[in-house]
């Protein structure tokens, strides 16, 4: 009976650590992409075409990252 309680407590602790790490990773990822978007927001592009080019570049970076994560 005590062993079952220990296992349950252990599993609860592992789940809490996992969720905490998952949240930290998500925050890091969002901060990275927010940094890219913040750079776009302060740019003074020569026109719409230049801005579109930079937006496409960030979207491509995001797409590449998604592909890498799906492969892992």
At 47 the pLDDT is 86
Total-model pTM = 0.67
Mean pLDDT of 37-60: 88
Q: What is the pLDDT of residues 11-39, one digit of tens each?
A: 999 999 999 999 999 999 999 999 998 98
- List, as own/partner pairs, every contact residues 12-19 make where C-beta atoms lie below 8 angstroms and the sequence separation is at least 24, other chains included: none
E strands along the chain, which residues?
Answer: none
Q: How confident is the model at residue 69 (pLDDT cuts 50, 70, 90)?
A: confident
Mean confidence (pLDDT) of the chain: 89
């Amino acid at each position: 009976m005590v062993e079952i309680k220990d296992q349950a407590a252990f599993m609860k602790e592992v789940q809490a650590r996992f969720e905490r790490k998952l949240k930290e990773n998500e925050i890091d990822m969002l901060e990275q992409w927010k940094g890219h978007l913040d750079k776009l927001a302060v740019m003074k592009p020569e026109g719409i075409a230049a801005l579109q080019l930079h937006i496409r570049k960030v979207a491509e970076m995001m797409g590449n990252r998604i592909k890498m994560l799906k492969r892992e």
